[in-house]
Structure 1
């Protein structure tokens, strides 16, 4: 199953649940795309795909400058995994194909 496409994801964070849209495109083992939330959009980087396993990073500035590190699995039209927030630890995320 391809990871390519648009996703609606929900991230559980220390500040409550946050909604985002995610666009992914795979090319071999490389994953590119962008993620948007609360009016802000950024390109993902360090993206990788291996079968159903995916990972990527995202720099945000709101509510504070952070690099988010996502790792998860795609299962059909669902995606789920962990989002690392540097020194604050890791938190779950989940989503469905849009």
Structure 2
């Protein structure tokens, strides 16, 4: 198994839980991806994969404009880790493979 594929993650926020669909492309060569929440799809910024761990940043505009830094690890069909949204404290993130 690899990080490649579609993942549904849940991010608890002060405005309620945000469900985000990650499309991660990791075959041969560099890793890339996008995150979709509602009608907004944004590309990963500077994604790095090391084994089952992936780190990246992404710029969002909804519900407010900010950059979120992610650090997640795959364990089978599950992703868990932390997200650091702008100036706010880091939060736990979890999700599962959907493809």
TM range (shorter): over 0.9
Shift of 1:38: 1.4
Shift of 1:31: 2.3
Indicate how the Cα distance of structure 1 residues 50 and 29 shifts in structure 2: closer, same or farther if over 3 A, else same. farther
Aligned length: 98
The residue that corresponds to 1:51 in the other structure is: 51
TM alignment of 1:8-87, pairs within 5 A: 8-26=8-26, 30-87=30-87
Shift of 1:28: 6.0
User: What's the RMSD between the two structures over aligned residues?
Assistant: 1.4
Shift of 1:24: 0.5
**TM-score normalised by L of structure 2:** 0.91
**TM-score normalised by L of structure 1:** 0.92
Structure 1 or 2: more strand by fraction: 1
**2:25 and 2:51 mapped to 1: Cα distance?**
13
**More displaced, 33-42 or 21-30?**
21-30
The residue that corresponds to 2:6 in the other structure is: 6
Runs of 4+ deviating beyond 6 Å: none
Structure 1: state its 5+ residue gaps.
none
